[in-house]
Amino acid sequence: MSRPSRSLVQRVRDHLGFSIVAIGVLFIVLRLLGMRSTLGGFVLSVGITLALNVGLSYYYERRARSPRPRRQTRGGGDIRFREDDRYDEDRRSRDRRDGAR
């Protein structure tokens, strides 16, 4: 049975820590490289990262609940034919190697 859908507040809480840590590390690295960073830039970056993560969370949950039908794999559903094809290719390559000697 599938899990109940999480609310927006739960999703924001789940992703808030990651967003703050990831952007904080990025800003520290940029500071070490000599680039200036402001508090406003930090807050804006955390907001954008948080929005993207929450949006992707909704998207993937929706996609998991209603998956697209899978296309049939190449070679059909019966694996025996694919094994026979591989056996024939192996035999041909061995014949070529033996004939080259």
Q: Is residue 14 within 8 Å of 70, Cβ to Cβ?
A: no
The total of structural domains in the chain comes to: 1
Range of the domain at 36: 8-65
What is the per-residue burial (b if ≥16 Cβ within 10 Å, else e) of 50-75? beebbeebeeeeeeeeeeeeeeeeee
Does residue 73 lie in a domain region? no
Does residue 86 lie in a domain region? no
Residue 48 vs residue 96, higher pLDDT: 48
Does residue 58 lie in a domain region? yes
pTM: 0.56
Does residue 101 lie in a domain region? no
Does residue 90 lie in a domain region? no
Q: Is residue 82 within 8 Å of 75, Cβ to Cβ?
A: yes
- Is residue 2 over pLDDT 90? no
pLDDT in tens, 32-86: 999 888 889 889 999 999 999 999 988 988 888 887 776 655 655 666 655 555 5
